[in-house]
Structure 1
């Protein structure tokens, strides 16, 4: 089987204060009114400054003009974080390309793993003061440990978070779900995908839409279970999926993960789309 693009490595871009959106507060009423007092409500307002920041280069996932398999269609993740603690936010793009106005430090930082990347999340899993990266892939996922000197080391296998290599990893989130002071890791998996046996458009009824051959999936593809890794505090994690009762994903294809305390009971909750 041949995808319509070659595997592309992630790109980590270094640049001072380059954000996609600038967050400012403005009055609820856009027209100034002298009768408004200091207690007037405000709303969050976002201004698109992508062009000003030089963040307009398209990120092409799969074939640019033609796609054949569902794995080529979903797009990829991005993380904005201060990887070198210099006070400036940096940008990590999964399967990205060079952006104008920023410096490509991917190779220098040791972020050289290649594969069909999908999602990314950031967290200081070892509490050393430097944010680490976890990247999901079709195949085995990668945990990059931040060495604190501008470089990263792949510790996926050592930390026991690479996965089996059979699932198509999509989203992820670091979260201290048991409040022990150590960040745990939640990974969303879309399907158990085998590129060697993947069906082409039109090969099954589920690969047709109103008589037109379309990419197969997710219907007809085996769903994959999500995984919750508990941080043991010694640089390794354990799979706590079954014990934590989050293994019941029958018939669902997970894509992204968010964490928040929805009921204000002091314990972080997990939402999977």
Structure 2
């Protein structure tokens, strides 16, 4: 029932690197954060230089504008000591993480290059007193099997068989002997230095394409190290694995890339879409709305009534939005100009929906200026019927439903942050205050459909202005309480989310009430998408929210010297911020149970989008999670 659009955070026109955002988001200085990621091909890492301001018991920062400098106090997101002196004794855990990650990265390179697998090379990584360990358990049993995948895990009564390190590594890589596109990855998410010998916990993954299809293994590695000096790399003393899982792809790829086939014969397609934002920002003026944000979604619908789905692609300012009409042979034609939909204003997202109940798909656009409503003539031609300016904040996402059950579709508009003033022109991100529970973002708006292309702002009237200054990235309607009317879930960055229950007040008038806390779905985190579906097959609507899983955030937020002046509740909220995605199972009584960890669906990385869908046609909902950040020309293909 609900449709939501997720988009990226606002940037300035200057380049923003992913590691810089990790620093802002997860309370780390970039100089002390490093996750290990290895692949068969060499990768090009990026780093950020951390500023080291002079210590100040009451530090201040400065906003630079064209005409003046305005001092303000920092918002307290980062331990000032960590920002200033990451290598001092209090933060040795992050120094150790850098060194241990480098060692695991070196191990990863050996794993993907079997020719390098020798005792001589491994001796650089292990301690002379390395305790035999098991890297790949035996006795695996099938826990899931279908036409596409076979998933295996160790039997419950399986006893580990310790092996010398070289033998264990050989056993681990033997199934990949004929694999190509082999990749490994380590993510250290916790470090302890006070247990006699340093201990790290990390996720390990190795995958590749095999003659029979594909093969992947993943596990948690608990590594014990010897670290005699901060100036020396640590060496491995023991490895204990848990949560081992092996997945075999036996039916070939689930999806095939048919982009070139579908868009063949359209010379403008590669000219516009084969270039990244770096290319366009150097060629288009910033006043058109071009930037590095990547806030641009798409919409799918049958615009000309031929039974085939068509595609509308939103673009940054200065580039035309594109409407592609499907043809029976599987190709498309570019109808952008002919249909009147080739706007060059920055467009965040779009929805195809029937706003006038005439049976065809109209088009609604969320642009940097406001919302545009377009009527479909039934053949795929569109004309603007109205628009709604939103002066306070730029629209970011759209979600439609008939909330008042009057027979027409109404529109909820999500807004991320307040529009920038001249003072904020040079800033990369909005300033959430407080960082982990911000309530100073953009004001979301509900437009009630009053027929004849008249839309009324009913936000305050209907109670939707409560807790309505969050940094919203997605919203979705669904009848979670099964009372016959659609309720609304709103996913917000930098803090808690909203669940607006569709109710009636004492006078019988329709009112929305934010029951997120009572229902157990506030999910204080970096909310970026929401999807409804029946996850457990009990007939009611469950909820999945994508956030950000951060290895750096998990490491730092659990250290005793992190946010020492904050209360325990605040510390737990910071820790929750780095946990990852959330699955809430509907209990049928208006509340939800958090099944994120037990279901194994929390680790979705930087999860921008999520969707319940039955991918293998077995009648059960699967979860598809889209993640990543900014791709580059030398990108490895791993989001």
* TM-score class normalised by the smaller sequence: 0.5 to 0.7
**1:147 Cα shift?**
0.9
Q: Secondary structure at the match of 2:517?
A: helix
Is 1:131 equivalent to 2:486 in the alignment? yes
Taking a change above 3 Å as real, the CA distance of residues 25 and 184 of structure 1, as seen in their structure-2 partners, is same
- The alignment covers a number of residue pairs equal to 204
**1:78 Cα shift?**
1.2
Match of 2:620 in 1: 267
Q: Secondary structure at the match of 1:263?
A: coil
Taking a change above 3 Å as real, the CA distance of residues 98 and 133 of structure 1, as seen in their structure-2 partners, is closer
**1:129 Cα shift?**
0.5
Question: Does the CA-based 8 Å contact 2:581-2:602 persist in structure 1?
Answer: yes
More helix by share: 2
Question: Does the CA-based 8 Å contact 1:223-1:253 persist in structure 2?
Answer: no
Match of 1:240 in 2: 595
Which among 103, 109, 122 is matched to residue 462 of structure 2?
109
Paired with 2:408 and 2:488, the residues of 1 have a C-alpha distance of 17
Match of 1:142 in 2: 498
Which among 110, 113, 118 is matched to residue 473 of structure 2?
118
Select the structure of larger CA radius of gyration.
2
Match of 1:212 in 2: none
Q: Secondary structure at the match of 2:513?
A: strand
Question: Does the CA-based 8 Å contact 2:412-2:446 persist in structure 1?
Answer: no
Paired with 1:104 and 1:58, the residues of 2 have a C-alpha distance of 10
**1:61 Cα shift?**
5.4
Is 1:54 equivalent to 2:386 in the alignment? yes
Question: Does the CA-based 8 Å contact 1:27-1:42 persist in structure 2?
Answer: no
Paired with 1:246 and 1:129, the residues of 2 have a C-alpha distance of 30
Taking a change above 3 Å as real, the CA distance of residues 98 and 258 of structure 1, as seen in their structure-2 partners, is closer
**1:136 Cα shift?**
1.1
**1:150 Cα shift?**
2.8
What's the TM-score once normalised by structure 1's chain length? 0.64
**1:2 Cα shift?**
10
**1:245 Cα shift?**
1.2
**1:55 Cα shift?**
4.0
Match of 1:24 in 2: 304
Question: Does the CA-based 8 Å contact 1:159-1:237 persist in structure 2?
Answer: yes
Larger RCO, structures 1/2 (Cα 8 Å, 6+ apart): 1
Paired with 2:615 and 2:403, the residues of 1 have a C-alpha distance of 29
Give the 5 Å matches for 1:57-76: 57=389, 76=396
Q: Secondary structure at the match of 2:496?
A: coil
* Structure 1: tracts of 5 or more residues without a match: 4-18, 29-39, 63-74, 195-221
Which among 520, 523, 530 is matched to residue 160 of structure 1?
520
Paired with 1:107 and 1:154, the residues of 2 have a C-alpha distance of 13
Paired with 1:261 and 1:20, the residues of 2 have a C-alpha distance of 19
Match of 1:171 in 2: 529
**1:248 Cα shift?**
2.8
Match of 1:94 in 2: 414
CA distances 1:49-84 after superposition (whole Å, capped 9, x unpaired): 53424246478858xxxxxxxxxxxx7321011001
Q: Secondary structure at the match of 1:158?
A: helix
**1:155 Cα shift?**
0.5
Is 1:184 equivalent to 2:464 in the alignment? no
Taking a change above 3 Å as real, the CA distance of residues 42 and 86 of structure 1, as seen in their structure-2 partners, is farther
Is 1:79 equivalent to 2:399 in the alignment? yes
Paired with 1:102 and 1:2, the residues of 2 have a C-alpha distance of 42
Q: Secondary structure at the match of 2:615?
A: coil
Match of 1:225 in 2: 580
Give the 5 Å matches for 1:249-260: 249=604, 252-260=605-613
Paired with 2:586 and 2:388, the residues of 1 have a C-alpha distance of 37
Question: Does the CA-based 8 Å contact 2:412-2:445 persist in structure 1?
Answer: no
RMSD: 3.7
